[in-house]
Each structure stands twice: as C-alpha cells, then as structure tokens.
Chain A
Amino acid sequence: MRKLTLLITAIATAACAGGAAPQSQASPGAPIKIGLLTSLTGNYAPLGTNDKLAAQQMVDAVNAKGGVAGHHIDLIIEDDQSNPTQTIISYNKLIDEGVVAIEGPPQSTAELALKPIVGQKKIPDVSVGASDDQVIPVEPYMFQTTPLASQVSKACLKQIQALKFTKLAMLTDTKNAYAIKGHDVTKNLVSQFGITIVDDESFETTQTNFATQIAKIVAAKPDILLVWATGAPPVIITKQWGGAKTGIPLMMTAAEASPLYVNPAEPEVEGVYVQATLGVLGQNVPSSNKFKKLIDDFAQPFQTANGTWPPQFAWDSMLAMTFIFDAIKRKGTNPDQIQAGLESINLDTPQGHYTYGKDKHYGMPDSSNLMATVQSKGFVPTPETQAVLASAGTGASTQS
C-alpha cells in the first residue's frame, strides 16, 4: 500500500511539475530548428513532395550563405501521411524536437485539426493549405501563404465572365476543406458575375470513376465546368471529361497548377483553364515586371535540380520559408519573436507583395491570382492575364 501511495504521489508530482519550457533566444551562431510538416505519403503526397523540395532548396541556399542572422538552419521533416490523426502526432514530434517555427501541413483539412493545438503550443505555423477557415478567424500563431479559396474563386469567375459564359457547372471534392470552401464561396459570388449554376455535383477524394457526374453535367448543358479538388481526382476527371468529347471547356483551380496534374492528364488536359499564381506563370512574366528577378532566383535552381518549373505547392513552401527567415532576421529566434515577425511581414516575393498584420494572417495579392490554359504541357497566360503580367508588377496585397 505504501509503495502504491509513493507511486501515485510521484505521478501526481510529475503531473503538476511540468510546464512549457521557457522560450530562449538561440545563442549567437547556434543552429535553429525549423519544422516541415508535410504529406509524403497518402492522397496528398503530390503536394507534399513539392513542399519538401522547395523547403530543402531554401534551407540549403540560406545555409550556404552563412544561415539566417548567423544561425545555421536545421530542417526537421515529418510526414503527416495525409491523415489528421498522424498530423497531430507528427506535429508534436516537431515540437519535441525543439523547432521554433513550422511550415505545413499542405492539406487544409489537417490544418483545421491543427489550429486549436497551434494556439496551445504557441509555435508559429505557416500553413501551405488553402482554406479561409485556417486564418479566419485569426489564430495568433497560424499564418497562410496560399491564396484564400475565395480569392481563387474570384479569379475563376472573372475569367468565366471575360469568356462571356453565363452557365456554370461545378464538381466538388466533399472531403477537402479547400474545395468545399471554394465551392461555397463560388455559389455566393456567381450572381455578382452574372453567372448561373446549372449543375452542382460532388464526389469523394477516393473516387476513381466520374462517369455518373459527367453524364449529369453534360445533360445540364453548362458553358464551362469548374472543378474544386486536389490530388489525383482532377487527373481522372480531365481524362474522362476529354474522353467524353463534350466540347464544354474545363476549368481547374490553383491546386492543379502543377506538372503533377498536367503530365498524367495528357493529352486531354490541353486547353484546360487552370487558375495559377504569379510564380507558376513566371516563365511568361516580362523582365520589366518587378517580381521577375525574385521569380527566377528561386525557379531556376529548382528547375535545374528537379527538371521542372516550380509548381504551385513549391511556391507556397518557398514563401513559408521566406517569411520565417525574414521574421527571424527582423525580430529574433524564439517562437514569440518569430510570431511577431510574421505579423509584420511586408515583403516583395515572387508571388507579389505580401503584408500580414495582427488581424490578417494571409496576404497573397488578388493581382497574383491569374489564369492560364494548358498548351503543349505548359501553362500559357490567358489574354486577360497577359495584360496583368505586362503591368510591371504593381500588385500589392489588396485582399480584405
């Protein structure tokens, strides 16, 4: 009995004695650990692999120049397996490793699972997922580099309006927070653009045959089909849509601005509209554009190393590392200082000029949300986008 009492006392003492380790400033020259929480396996591996390539390139580049503010950067990578439960385990592993900031995860559903925990742990997290709910309402330690789903939606609707289309069909992955948010926002916005939704179909991420949805969409006779999805389904949809020879244009969102979508979807993908950001269309940006040099500085080494122009998720990851490095340089190395640095981001980037604030933890300018079509396996800006790219890059963070 006495031993049992001692045991219980020991456990109770340990329970009460713990506490968050005090945040300390890294001593001059000491390495800093930054976490990368990404999907290297599972449905979202195509996103995560590009996150990893970009983050590693950024860290290697900065270390080759002596580190950030004299600190060598150790990149600690954890695979979330595209699963919310594993996301929490992997996130806690990074915290235990002593990281001072984290990039990721890339899937917005996992990011939502993480949001309350980020608030508890108070380690800044720069998300590369793209659901408005990640950063609205603001969680002080969570930031987002990607466009909001609502920004993507507006870019798509503007293009549809420019094409003088009025009848829209949508096909949405109901298991993906980004897709659902984009779908919902689009439904609310269409009337502002003089567009009517004539068919609204849905599917789940694991679905591999879309014949039923395609038949219903074709029967509704839309002017264009907008797909809200991420990962493998858009490839299959494109192949089956092309195979059905509907003659109806297809539009994809920023999640498909990647060779990982285009290459397997050839040849049916030719002519598909894809929402793309400034960096993705960087090869078409004129040298007079003020962001061109920033784009090339990242894209050229990436292309040399990986044989492809950086896709959307590589740019998202590149920005996350850029912001974390900038916050460390300006404010310091402990998590609270990095959080303060992130809240005061005011920076030209390859994706336009970003500003964050206490009440605004996202910042991609609307002018960086552009449109392209797939031609010869590449992304070619639409005429409307070409006009924006030629405007010398005056884009500022305008989203409110």
Chain B
Amino acid sequence: MRLGFWLGLAAAVGSLLLPLLLYDAELTIYVFIGLSIIVVAGLNLLYGFAGQVSLGQGAFYAIGAYCAGILARRGIPPLAALLLAPVLTAAVAVVVGLPVLRLRGHYLAFATLAFQLIVLSIAGQFRELTGGDTGLTGIPDLTVAGVGFPLERRAFGYAYLTWVLTALALLLVHNLVASRPGRGLRALATSEAAARGSGVPVGRYKLQVFALAAAFAGLAGGVYAFFLSYIAPGSFPILLSIQFLVMSAVGGVAVVWGPVLGAVLIYILAQVLQTIGSQPGMPLHAPAELNYAVYGLVLILIMLLLPEGIVPALRSAVASGRLRSPGGAAPGMAAGPGGAPVPPPARRQ
C-alpha cells in the first residue's frame, strides 16, 4: 500500500473521531472547515485541474445558502431543500458560465468577482424574498421526516453531516480526476488548443466543471444556512472567495488533498490569531495587527517557501528521499490518483 493511502485513511479516521473530543465552539469550527473543504475541493477541480480561475465561489456558496434557506422557509422539507441547493446552484452556474467561460485568466477571475457582487446586490435588494441586507432569519433546522439533531447535540450532528459530505466530495474529485474527463480537464489546463486537437470537448468540459464546482459550493452553502439558521449578504463577502482561493493555493492546487490541508491550516491560523488578539490585557490594536499583518505575513511566507502548496511540497520531499515512500511523485510534480504525476496548472497571462 502507498504511504498516501495510509495517510488518507488516518486523516479520515482521525477526523471521524475528532468530534467526540470537541466542545461546541470547536465543533462549529470543524463544521466551517468541512464546508470550506467542500467549496475548495470544487474550486480545486476548476482552478487546479482545469486551470480556470474563479474569484466568485463565494457567490455560489451564497446561492446555495439562499436556495436552501428560502425553500425551507416556504415549506419545502429541509432535506429536499438541501438537496436542491446544489442542483439550483449548478443551474445558475450553467447560465452564468455560458458567456463567462469565453473569458480566460484574469478576465475570467474579474468576471466571476463581478458575478459575486451582483449576487450580493440582488440578495440585498429583494427584501421580501431574501430578507434584504439585514438577512434571512428563521431558517428551520435540518430534519429528515420531521426528525432533526437533538438541540443539545446539534453542532455534533452537523459535524458528522459535514464529514460525510466532505468525504463524498473528495471521493468524487478523486474518481473524477482519474477518469477520462479528468484527463481531459488536465489537458485543457495545459493548452486548450492542444486539448481540442486531441478530441477533448473543451467548451463542454469547462462548463461542466464550472457547474460542478458551483454545485459543491451550493451544497456547502445549504448546510451553512441550516447550521446558522440565518444568512445575510454580509455572510458572504468578497474576501470569502479570496479566502477559498488562498486555501486552495496554500494546500496545493491539482492535488485531491490540497483543499483539506489548506482549509484546515487557514481556518485554524485565523482562529488562533483571533484568540491571541482578544485576550484580556492585549492592547486595542493587537487584534487588527494579528488578523491582518501577521496573517498576511504567514501567507506570504508559505507562498514564498512553498509556492506549489503544502501537499505537493510534502510529496516532493517524500520523492526526494527525505521521507521514504515508494509510490511518491517526482520532485516538482504533484501526484495524481494512483501516484501518476500531474503537471502543475497552466499559468495563464
């Protein structure tokens, strides 16, 4: 068995057992980390494997949350609302993707960023439907046939729901990138012209992966809406989309486990700095310095020292013999499913 398999299994079992040891606040962070992993796993498909930059995943996260929240408030069974959230989000992504995916590189990034601004503006204006800028309150709890999580173990229940959905998302990504469409996505990331010449349906694949990434974000957004019972445009700032991209870059793009490590590290770093900054006796400027300056400095150091991200760096270390693993990829190359080397995503100008 490869080292990667055992590490993955250890991570899965460890994260499965972890909620048993956590208090409510830590379970809340656990849930948000899981939801971030789901979004970033989708972004990883789009950006890491297919080479399409998006600064608008927060918009799809918001759309999923609003779909689930609005539907559930209007009498649709919460589970059905949750399942519809990724479907409706993907449908929106198809409509948006048709024109937007004609753009590339920075242009695509700006277009997706603008899309999020539009979504937030719409959510803020349609007060009857969305609650407007003050938000949508009274979203019912997630129930199946009228049975929900016990009130006192609510965070615990959502932690395991998130674990299951995260595992499914990662499994789907793992299988997809190993499949023929997955190879096609990697091909179009390197060169759309070459991929088209090799018979890859470039336009269709780009649209499909855009919709799939949106569906991931929509699913995570649906869980978010039920978990918090409240959503507002302020819950989905532009910075959230950038944070998703940072998680992807820090963990490592074009590797299945990159989103996991990226989301865990970024979320925990932010929480640790927040906790230090708000300790009694700390000066009033400490929280701002820690949350902005130190956070930024740590990110800069990570990107300077590990420009391909942490998971590819670890794999390079394994392959170069500092750690021993017979199935590792060559230095500088991320390992794909089955240990097959994957080139880094194309850098577009």
Contact = CB atoms under 8 A, between A and B. Distances in A.
A79 B274 contact: yes
B208 interface: no
Contacts of B157: 15
Contact of A85 (B160, B228, B229): B228
A18 B228 CA distance: 20
A45 B288 contact: yes
A40 B25 contact: no
Given A15-B157, A84-B232, A116-B137, A56 B288 contact: no
B156 interface: yes
A7 interface: yes
**Interface majority SS on A: helix, strand, loop or mixed?**
helix
A181 B154 CA distance: 32
A89 B29 contact: yes
Interface residues of A, number: 50
B133 A175 contact: yes
B232 A109 contact: yes
Interface string B3-43: 00000000001001101100111111100100000000000
Contacts of A78: 274, 278
A20 B137 contact: no
17 contacts: A11-B17, A11-B20, A14-B156, A16-B150, A18-B150, A18-B156, A52-B284, A53-B284, A109-B135, A112-B135, A113-B135, A113-B232, A113-B235, A120-B151, A174-B124, A174-B133, A204-B124
Interface string A67-108: 000000001111101011110111011111000000000000
B197 interface: no
Interface string B230-243: 10111101000000
B349 interface: no
Nearest to A181: B134
Interface of B: 13, 16-17, 19-20, 23-29, 32, 124, 132-135, 137-138, 150-157, 160, 228-230, 232-235, 237, 271, 274-275, 277-280, 284, 287-288, 291-292
Given A95-B25, A174-B132, 14 more contacts: A11-B19, A16-B153, A19-B152, A40-B284, A76-B280, A77-B278, A84-B228, A84-B232, A88-B228, A92-B155, A115-B137, A120-B154, A175-B234, A177-B133
B266 to A, nearest CB: 14
A213 interface: no
B291 A85 contact: no
B235 A85 contact: yes
Contacts, number: 135
Contacts of A86: 274
- The 9 A-B residue pairs with the shortest CB-CB distance, nearest first, are A92-B25, A40-B287, A93-B25, A96-B23, A177-B134, A113-B230, A79-B278, A96-B25, A19-B152
A55 to B, nearest CB: 10
Contacts of B137: 112, 115-116
A10 interface: yes
Nearest to B235: A84
A176 interface: yes
Contacts of A20: 152
B234 A7 contact: no
B234 A84 contact: yes
Given A96-B26, A180-B133, A15 B153 contact: yes
A56 B24 CA distance: 26
A322 interface: no
A93 B233 CA distance: 24
Contacts of B229: 116-117
Interface string A164-183: 00000000001111001100
A90 B32 CA distance: 13
A41 interface: yes
A346 interface: no
A283 interface: no
A89 B132 contact: no
Interface string A148-178: 0000000000000000000000000011110
